[in-house]
Amino acid sequence: MPTATKTTPPPLGDQGPVAEQFEAMEQQRQADRMGMWMFLGTELLLFGGTFGAFITYRVIYADAFAEAASHLDLKLGTLNTALLLTSGLTMALTEQLSRAARHKATFWLLIATIAIGALFIGIKGFEWYKEYQEQLMPVLGLTFDYPGNQPDRAQLFFNFYFVMTGLHAVHMLIGLGVLSVIAVLAWRWRDPPRIARQVQISGLYWAFVDVIWVIVFSLLYLLRV
Amino acid sequence: MSTIALDQRWPRDHYLSSGFRLRDWLLTTDHKRIGWLYFASITFFFFLGGIAALLIRLELITPRGDLLSPDTYNEMFSMHGIIMVWFFLIPSIPNTLGNFLIPLMVGARDLAFPRLNLLSWYIYTIGALFVVLTVLLGAVDTGWTFYTPYSTLFTNTAVLAAATGVFVVGFSTILTGINFMVTLHKMRAPGLTWMRLPLFAWATYATSLIMILATPVLSITLLLIAVERIFGIGIFDPALGGDPILFQHLFWFYSHPAVYIMILPGMGVVSELISCFSRNRLFSYKGMVISVMAIALFGFLVWGHHMFVAGQSMYAGIMFSLFSFLVALPSAIKTFNWTATLYRGRILLTAPMLYAFSFIGLFTIGGLTGIIVAAMTIDVHVHDTYFVVAHFHYVMVGGMVTAYLGGVHFWWPKMTGKMYSEIWSKVAALALFIGFNLTFFPQFILGYQGMPRRYHEYPEDFQLLNVMSSLGAGVLAIGYLLPLVYLTWSLFKGKPAGANPWGATGLEWQTSSPPPKHNFVQIPTVTEPPYAYRDQDNTAPFG
């Protein structure tokens, strides 16, 4: 008995039954993490297509794009960046607490992350609504009435803006759905080691959404006149 | 011989014997059964795309456009391309043979993510439904490349349904690629080091790498096409400041590497076949591994050779031309190594080996003509002619399809536990080789003489070669239909194959045929390098 107390127990995510195709939990954990990292790599490339195209046009139409960028709401964008990074913090804390098997704390931190994420989507929607009112939304056949120079180029900029932020919002919504499912599982707390693993893997995804937003924010909002 | 005689039993308990209800198949997470699901759907699409091809060849028998209207003709070659490229060629070897074999080859009980694997098949099916929908909506006439601005501004056909189908099937490709890579990294049996992996596994690894790195770029490109058609967003539309050439860059950044998604698994299969049926270790195993990875790498640097005449700068053209030449090096290394493996081998002319020989011959012609079209100056002359059509059919059909059929014939005993007709399989392999050359060799000449692709009428001077080509298509169809018949027949009447009918090396032959549900009773330990064919006399294929 005394020797047993001295050895540190394995982290919670390393416990529980191993899936039938694996030989050991360590192997399963490594496979899960590697799979998620590779998936995120493909997601980065998905966004990368728009980033590459945007940067190309940003160089070709430098002046027009810089001017168009100044019509975006930098304050709301900055607020959203701060919110999303905060949600990254709560998600990282969730991971630690779920591994320490802290039931209630895991659940409430997940709720906090979901709430901040939802707030982000709300603010983003408000921004889009503002742009719709200012007639800066050249999609769905809406009138595009741009007050500055070179409206054609500006239209291209706003096209990119809606594609990039829209695609990012879709990823946020998927993330919110996943986190909601885990929050329900965390509330029931049936299989804590498994929840700890799920939190870790979905935390990777959430961090990825953060990173993508930072790139989107820098490209669209910060490169202005 | 005594051990082989012992093996000639049909195992009672295997992956096909447990569960015959529909839900046992549609909800299975067994990689072997999922391989069969893909096999069935891919075969269906192969023949659907083949029917479109036959209609094209029938139309081209006469110089006049008398069988199909111009619009129908455009829709036919578009459907042929879309179905064959995205629903047959890209998923064929990785998703059927790869799904079946990779866990067996690495000594694992299943892929790393079995449920994700099943999901991939469902995603494939959903994508396929969109393509069926496209056919019902009146098809699409953009060609398989969806070039803008035609696809976004002008055509009234079902571009959205087709692009959505391809977009959706892309996710299936990505998830399959991730599954293979994680399996190969994390689930190899004890003792199975990277340098002991069979070349088919290496080829699947390189293919997965391309799938993961290239497919997302295609996805975003198709997404942009869709939003451009729906919302009027002008990222490729010159009227709104966009650029159609950008579409071509993004599209070929995916679609050129996609050619290697098609050919690399074929090279992996052929390496297995050549080594097994010449009873010889594979010449320069390491060289083969390096060249597989080199082809995957170079494949990403050559997309611009599709745009020599599209208005890119001369310097870009020179660089893309140079890189395209460079792909020939690792490809040639592979071809020479296969030849060197045959040297002093005890060559057994089985049906899989005949397919492997077809592959080497046809792929070499396809590869050498690839050098011709990679040269910028000559490409300007043959651009968009039948020369290019012949070139990529030699690589993709002559290469990929022969390798696929060779692989199916090689591993059929393992997949079903049954043996098929020796004579008919050889007849089919020969029909394919003859039919293929008769179909596509005349097209080199046609193209060089200036017949453009995608035209449904042509000057009368071109008729003789076109008739030859159409005749060949008929022979080719026989070569494709025969296996369907005798392989199906073998399922019911074939002799039990035994665990290792070819006397091949590799972990997949160490388990029974068909394998048990979890592949191995006990996970094997690997102690030897691959292709250790030293016992040259104790096996006689086909009993």
CA B340 to chain centroid, in Å, comes to: 25
**From A46, A138, A152, residue closest to B220, measured CB to CB:** A46
Q: How far apart are CA B104 and CA B516, in angstroms?
A: 11
Is the CB of residue B212 less than 8 Å away from at least one CB of chain A? yes
Task: Pick A156's closest partner by Cβ from B182, B213, B234.
Answer: B234
Nearest to B220 among A35, A49, A162 (CB): A49
pLDDT reported for residue B264: 95
The amino acid that residue B431 corresponds to is A
Nearest to B506 by CA among B104, B179, B46, B1: B104
Which chain B residues have a beta carbon less than 8 Å from that of A141? 232
CATH number for the domain that contains residue A114: 1.20.120.80
Distance from C-alpha of B206 to C-alpha of B264, rounded to nearest angstrom: 8
Among the partner residues A34, A50, A153, nearest to B220 by beta-carbon distance: A50
Q: What's the angle, vertex CA B257, arms to CA B412 and CA B276, rounded to 5?
A: 30
Contacts of A43 in chain B (CB under 8 A): 216
The pLDDT score that the predictor gives to residue B17 is 83
Taking the Cβ of residue A20 and every Cβ of chain B, the question of whether any pair is shorter than 8 Å is answered with yes
Q: Quick: pLDDT tens for A102-130.
A: 999 999 999 999 999 999 999 999 999 99
Q: What is the token pair recorded at A138? A: 């050249």
Contact yes or no for B178 and A156 at CB 8 A = no
- List the domain range (segments joined by +) for residue A190: 28-222
The answer to whether A53 faces chain B, any CB pair under 8 Å, is yes
Which residues on chain B are in Cβ contact (under 8 Å) with A57? 241
Q: Residue A34: closest CA among chain B residues belongs to which residue?
A: B182
Question: Does the CB of A153 have a partner CB in chain B at under 8 Å?
Answer: yes
Written as one string, the DSSP assignment of B286-305 is HHHHHHHHHHHHHGGG-GGG
Contact A159 B233 (CB under 8 A): yes
Question: What span, in angstroms and rounded, lies between the C-alpha atoms of B341 and B349?
Answer: 15
Is residue A4, in this structure, part of any structural domain at all?
no
H/E stretch holding B229 reads: helix B199-231
Minimal Cα–Cα distance from B225 to chain A, Å? Answer: 12
ipTM: 0.83
CA angle A16, A108, A41 (to 5 degrees): 65
Residue A18 lies in a domain: no
Any idea what DSSP says for residue B399?
A: I
Best to test chain A binding among B235, B247, B300 (most A CBs inside 10 Å): B235
Between chains, do A160 and B235 touch, taking CB under 8 Å as contact? yes
Q: Give the whole-angstrom CA distance, residue B133 versus residue A56.
A: 36
Where are the domains positioned within chain B?
22-537
CB A209 within 8 A of CB A51: no
Query: What's the pLDDT at B138?
Result: 73
Residue A17, in any domain of the structure: no
Q: Is the dihedral of CA B404, B405, B410, B415 positive or negative?
A: positive
Mean pLDDT rounded to a whole number for chain A: 89
Cβ pair B241:A153 closer than 8 A: yes
| pLDDT for res B375 | 92
Residues of A in contact with B237 (CB under 8 A): none
Burial B521-534 (b: 16+ CB within 10 A, else e): eeebebeeebbebe
Three-class DSSP category at B17: coil
Q: Residue A19: inside a domain, yes or no? A: no
Interchain CB distance below 8 Å, B223 and A167: yes
Report DSSP state, residue B194.
G
Contacts of A22 in chain B (CB under 8 A): 112, 187
Residue A13 lies in a domain: no
Q: What is the mean pLDDT of residues A139-147?
A: 76
Which residues are CB-contacts of B343 (< 8 A; sequence separation ≥ 6)?
Answer: B283
Q: How many domains does chain A have?
A: 1
Check residue A6 and give its pLDDT: 56
Residue A35 host element (H or E): helix A25-60
Q: Which amino acid is at B287?
A: G
Looking at the structure, give the CATH architecture of the domain made up of residues B22-537.
Up-down Bundle (1.20)
pLDDT of residue B535: 52
Nearest CA to CA, how far is A54 from chain B (Å)? 9
Kindly state whether residue A66 falls inside one of the protein's structural domains.
yes
So what's the pLDDT on residue B11?
67
Measure A25 CA to nearest chain B CA, in Å. Answer: 12
Do the domain assignments include residue A181?
Answer: yes
* CA–CA gap between residue A43 and residue A50 (Å, rounded): 12
CB contact under 8 A, A42 and B178: yes
In this predicted structure, what is the pLDDT of residue B37? 95
CB B453 within 8 A of CB B389: yes
pLDDT for B2 equals 31
Which residue ranges of chain B lie beneath pLDDT 70? 1-12, 534-543
CB B278 within 8 A of CB B346: yes
Residue B171 tokens, joined: 């996710």
Supply φ then ψ for residue B408, to 5 degrees. -60, -45
Closest CA to B224 of B205, B244, B209: B244
